[in-house]
Amino acid sequence: MNHIILSETTMYHGTTLRLDLIEPHVAELCFDRRDGPVNKLDRTTFGELSNALAAIRTASHLEGLLVSSARDGFVVGADIYEFAALFALDEDALAARIRGYTAIFTALEDLPLPIVSAINGVALGGGFELALATDYRVMADAARVGLPEVGLGIMPGYGGTVRLPRIAGMACALDWIVSGTQRRADAAPDAGAVDLVVPQDRVRDVALALLREAIAGREDWRARRRRHHQPVVVDPAALEAARLVTARQAAHYPAASAAVELMAKSASASRDAALTLESQAFAAIAKSQAAASLAGLFINDQLLKKKAKNDSAHGRPVGKVAILGAGIMGGGIAYQSALRGTPVIMKDIAQHALDIGMAEAGKLLDKQVAAGRLTQAKADLVKKTITPQLHYDGVDQADLVIEAVVEDQAIKQAVLAEVERHCGPDAVLASNTSSLSITALARGLRRPHNFVGMHFFNPVPAMALVEVIRGPHTSGEAVATTVAYAAAMGKTPIVVQDCPGFLVNRILTAYLLGFAGLIQDGADFEQVDAALEAFGWPMGPAYLQDVIGMDTARHVVEIIAAGYPDRMSAADNPGSLLADAGRLGQKNGLGFYRYETDSKGKARKLAAADTHALLARLQPGGPRTFGAAEIVDRTMLPMLIEAALCMENGVVDSAAELDMALILGLGFPRYLGGPLRYADFLGMHTVVKRCAIYADDGALYRPTARMIEMAAASHTYFA
């Protein structure tokens, strides 16, 4: 057993914090977690904080307290890994647990001596709420503070909605809590949320000097303390503005709206009554679907980062990349690679394509400069690391070669076979294909173990997901090298097994075919889009296909449907009908909708009067009205079934990775958490029951045997 040797000045020492006497009448409460990389607020920390406060209360000689951190950050916030068990409590028990944690912060706030926080780094959520319970806050110039809880589907629960309005005013509190934005040091003092901003290396010294001033009576800390107990002056204009902002998303993301109403309700209450109201409101919001989903997505994201890091350890370093095929896609990949420090050869057979690719990279760099994220000099240096060329010179020096030519199997096979002759023997060869079989593309290659799929989503700079597709002969080292490079580009790589459509487009195809069935049965595509956008999708399936490009969407649907003929059919696909009519969506200004370019160069969606007449060819029964619930079921159930099949077939390693892939690659509604978490929320029994309603609509609605077993046993994908 390890024993901690306590000095004469040590008043308390735990796993996460310690309390030391640093001057005859001054103590320092220092957060210094010994069992993890950062300070966080978990059950252990709260228990030890309570013990430390008890030690302070028994030390009658103390006159001041400094709250600090021995880590690079202050306190990052609550331990989100404890949320699952916490949120599983019933609402009353959850409110009681939160009240207990809040009472510990209140005990800190009520100590009969001045308290100063030295915020040396990140102080977010509960970490900033801890600082708000002290009398003064000194912040490092490189630190960040804030209350970002709404991003997790919850609201501040440890006093943030009570203390911040009383310290900085209602307008500031509404802004910080509703936006959830992290605040830099230059913004925090102006808002009144912190008192001083100083250089990083002086935070503790300045905070200690301020504490001495308060002890000496030259700072009226008692007047500050009284403000914590006084009612909040309501700002009607700020309150109304916050209500307007939060109302737009309240149906799916209720936390921000609930926080606004809570602050309005508790403004006139005493501090303790307001804290009780906050605990109750927190518990109610924590039981929402959005809270479980968004907390789950945070944990999923951490899992993916850990997996990418582990995979990267087994890959080879990528010092140079070659891209075959320029244009918009090639230029986007080249830009992202160069921006993140990996130089690129961009090779094409046509100078015009190279010009487009370089223009795309230049446009993206210009946006970085305009946004202040890059200097012009830095942007120029990045652009110089992209080498456009019509020949293979230097490709043999590339550690990774990405083929990004037209989505045609024969052309890709020819290009891959040709470039392999110019690659180094250990170079990884990757195909940026959205739907073509990696197994088929590998035929004819001399080194299929070095071949992998690397599916970027368009537009490359904006889309975080990269599917890394493992073929039957792909080596683990090739996969790890590709994962490492994707992560170095700032992307989220997810490894999937080769199958028609891989993961995201395979599940998307089931969704689009559900939409096609609705159209064939007489649905109005505009009503379908409206219903699914109200459900939480960023755009409905008709609009989505216009954005993708009708020809591209048709190609993907036909390829993938052909791979699963027992349950998918691309016959009578409305996207194919429109593509045959030359209506390619935003590409040429006409698809399901028509498009005009606005003054900023963006496509503006408008109604196309003749689309309904064209689609009537696919509707032998004529038009029919569908309710929103049926529209949702007819499109979402095929997605849930296809996601279940992907899990059962081992296309992806975990439910977390599948859900994140759909969130990042498709814009699946975040409040649902992904298709598998959504299935868990509904309950598999409900999913199977709803599928039975549409059994006559074909195999697209046939649940798997495993889904039926899960329904009977009340099993879920996530614990």
User: In the block, which residue shows the tokens 């009284």?
Assistant: 226
Positive or negative, the CA dihedral 672, 676, 681, 685 is positive
Provide the token pair at 543: 């609009």
Distance in angstroms (rounded) separating the CA atoms of residues 403 and 495: 18
Distance in angstroms (rounded) separating the CA atoms of residues 568 and 124: 48
455, 473, 555, 612: which one is catalytic?
455
Distance in angstroms (rounded) separating the CA atoms of residues 605 and 684: 38
Distance in angstroms (rounded) separating the CA atoms of residues 661 and 304: 10
What is the distance of C-alpha 697 from the center of its chain?
A: 35
- DSSP assignments along 215-239, one per residue: HTTSS-HHHHHHHTTSPPPP-HHHH
Active site residue 455: yes
- In this structure, are residues 162 and 273 in contact, taking their beta carbons and an 8 Å threshold? no
Number of CB atoms found within 10 A of residue 219's CB: 19
User: In the block, which residue shows the tokens 């916030």?
Assistant: 77
- In this structure, are residues 262 and 155 in contact, taking their beta carbons and an 8 Å threshold? yes
| Cα dihedral 316→318→320→323 (10° resolution) | 90
User: How open is the CA angle 224-225-230, to the nearest 5 degrees?
Assistant: 95
Distance in angstroms (rounded) separating the CA atoms of residues 56 and 19: 9
DSSP 8-state code for residue 561:
H
* Beta-strand relationship, 465-470 and 451-456: antiparallel
Beta strands in 161-209 (DSSP E): 183-184, 196-198
Distance in angstroms (rounded) separating the CA atoms of residues 552 and 117: 57
- DSSP assignments along 268-330, one per residue: TS-HHHHHHHHHHHHHHHHTSHHHHHHHHHHHHHHHHHHHHHHHHTTSPP---EEEE--HHHH
What is the distance of C-alpha 242 from the center of its chain?
A: 24
Distance in angstroms (rounded) separating the CA atoms of residues 644 and 706: 8
User: Any idea which residues carry the catalytic annotation?
Assistant: 455
